[in-house]
Amino acid sequence: MDIGNKFSLVGLCDQAVQAYLRHGDITTAVQTCVTLNQWDTAVNLAQQQNFSQIEGLLSKYAQHLLDKNKKMEAVALYRKANRHTEAAKLLAQMAKETPGGAQKNPDRIKKLYLLAALEVEKYKTKTLQLQTDATMGTITTAQTVQSLITQDQSVASDKALESPWRGAEAFHLYLLAQRQLYEGQLEQSMKTALRLADYEDILDTQTIYSMIALTTYYNKFFMQCSKAFIKLEASLDVNEEMRTKFGDLALRIFTRNPPRDPPSKALPCPKCNTRIRDWSVSCSNCNYRLPFCVASGRSIFPEENTSLGSHGPDAAGVLSTGAGVVKCKTCRHRMYVSEVRKIRNCPLCHSHLDASASHFHDAPRY
Ligand SMILES: [Zn+2]
Ligand SMILES: [Zn+2]
């Protein structure tokens, strides 16, 4: 003990810890690390030795990092300690606070939202595992209930955790629409951009509706275009100077082009069968929100390819949902087989899709 104190006094953390551990004094060993600001060692030690006060220790260390604005280090700490919801919350917060927002740093923001969503998925998998263990009698019900309550409290207190993929979806679609536009895929780009209107809680008005205005203009969808301009001119999120500019631009566009959309293909709504435009994001009759293909950005109509659909065995990393659509096993988002043929990783979450598996070869092109 004495020797431990001496090491500690001169700041020799590792040696002090070794000395305390030889005497089985974990508490003092951990406390010494904290006093000497060796948080990493403290947490490792507490985990190895099953130290009962590890929760409090983690919170203190995390706070210490946050006070110094070391958010990424705090995320790493939470991840190491398997505190997935804390890591997710912090990542989502970092995404929201990224300087420059969608205009300057869309790639970085998408990555942060994606990491947050993956942490929530890990948490969900573990919660599910806990429930299974409880049913199997591996652990006691009391334990499960307690851990679920603790976890539920942290989830309920944060909106980003309830629908963890929305942030990543919004930025993925925004980046995708831009790329399609630059590559000259005007129609695809418009379909992707129209979907951004679903994410007003994540993207700002100007980002969403200037992208919609631009792509609908190129496609001569002047009805959709005028709707976007109305948003841009009326929104208080857009500064006054820009609002005036949007107003002038709208005047020039719509004196020459009446606000009408050209005809387009109509497909039945999967819920109520009303025929809706193939670029629709939701059904005009029953409000059903159509899922979208993460590879192309367009809406998925289950009816579209029924006659051509393939039901081959599941490839690793994907779940077949029939009708030429596959689902990523990690993020559970869908995509048209025809769009993912050349893609090896999920366009949204980047996890590996086994495109060489038989399912992809069997699926006919359409
Ligand atoms: Zn409908
Ligand atoms: Zn995915």
Distance 159 CA to ligand 2 centre (A): 21
Distance 286 CA to ligand 1 centre (A): 4
- Token pair of 229, please? 């301009």
Q: For residue 20, is pLDDT > 70?
A: yes
Distance CA 237, CA 16 (A): 57
* pLDDT in the model for residue 175: 98
Residue labelled with tokens 């559970």: 332
Distance CA 150, CA 154 (A): 7
Ligand nearest to the CA of 328: 2
Distance 96 CA to ligand 2 centre (A): 22
Residue count of the chain, please give it.
366
Tell me if 296 sits within 8 A of 339, measured CB to CB: yes
Q: What is the mean pLDDT of the chain?
A: 84
Distance 130 CA to ligand 2 centre (A): 24
* pLDDT in the model for residue 309: 40
Ligand nearest to the CA of 318: 2
Distance 348 CA to ligand 2 centre (A): 5
Q: Position 250: which residue type? A: A
Ligand nearest to the CA of 287: 1
Report the percent of the chain where pLDDT is more than 70: 84
Q: For residue 148, is pLDDT > 60?
A: no
CA-closest candidate to residue 196, choices 175, 216, 217, 173: 173
Distance 343 CA to ligand 2 centre (A): 12
Among 150-159, 275-284, 306-315, 350-359, the range with the most confident prediction by mean pLDDT is 275-284
Give the SS3 label for residue 275.
strand
Distance CA 288, CA 216 (A): 23
Distance CA 60, CA 66 (A): 10
Per-residue confidence band for 140, with pLDDT thresholds at 50, 70 and 90? low
Distance 301 CA to ligand 1 centre (A): 12
Q: For residue 113, is pLDDT > 50?
A: yes
Q: Position 240: which residue type? A: E
* pLDDT in the model for residue 366: 37
Distance 198 CA to ligand 1 centre (A): 17
Distance 264 CA to ligand 1 centre (A): 18
Rounded mean pLDDT, 351-362: 58
Give the SS3 label for residue 325.
strand
Per-residue confidence band for 59, with pLDDT thresholds at 50, 70 and 90? confident
* pLDDT in the model for residue 157: 58
Task: Give me the half-sphere count of Cα atoms (radius 13 Å) on the Cβ side of residue 29.
Answer: 25
Distance 62 CA to ligand 1 centre (A): 48
Distance CA 140, CA 121 (A): 24
